[in-house]
Amino acid sequence: MSPKDTIDIGRNPAVVRANAYHALAEAFSSPADWSTTFPEDLSDALLPLGGELATLACSLVAAASDAMNHRESVSVAHARLFLGPFEVMAAPWASLYLDPNQRLMGSASLYAAQAYSEAGLGPGSGLMDAPDHIRHELEFMYYLAFEEATSGGIEWRERQRSFWGEHLGRWLPELARAVRLADQDAYYGALADFLLAFAKAEKPHLKERL
């Protein structure tokens, strides 16, 4: 899957959430792939969340701006956290948190793949990792929120509620805590803090009925 462009069709909640998920998926990309406007893109997408999340977004944007000046060391931190090769400090796959056997392409991976398929998505040519990688799952939530925003169909909110409650919401906080514990770079510490607050806010939001 590859996300659509950030959308701006008014500031209804689905639009704000879609843009936030889009930005968070990009936040997990390799620093070598960041665009020159990466900090500004984070700001545009996350500040509209308001409240505590906006405050934490400001810290994340500041850390991202600083990271742009030393991308090589941030890239090393990214590799240590999510790639290895000898030890992955914060595994970016749901399987390592939800699968009883902690096996890639096991039950957690298959759950994600099935959810994508049921929402009308194929694996896509850009899917170079297991379907339960954090970037794919955040992009999926972006897609669902995008469809809610543009169609108004309740089924898209229900798909978000189901995927979050049964899957992503169960392991995203654990991933964030692992990133925070690893303490590899100020940028990733700020990202972890934001993710923990975002997950806390998202749970009650998705319980609301349209």
Tens digits of residue pLDDT in 15-71: 999 999 999 999 999 999 999 999 999 999 999 999 999 999 999 999 999 999 999
- Select the more confidently predicted residue: 102 or 2: 102
Write out the two tokens for 52.
């505590």
CA-CA distance, 67 to 36, in Å (whole number)?
12
pLDDT class for 85, splitting at 50, 70, 90?
confident
In the Cβ-directed half-sphere of 200, how many Cα atoms lie within 13 Å? 11
**Chain center to CA of 13:** 17
Total-model pTM: 0.90
Alpha helices (H) along the chain: 13-27, 38-46, 51-67, 71-82, 95-98, 107-118, 134-151, 154-163, 169-182, 186-207
pLDDT at residue 24, as a whole number: 98
Q: pLDDT of 126-136, one tens digit each? A: 555 799 999 99
CATH, domain range 13-207:
1.10.3480.10
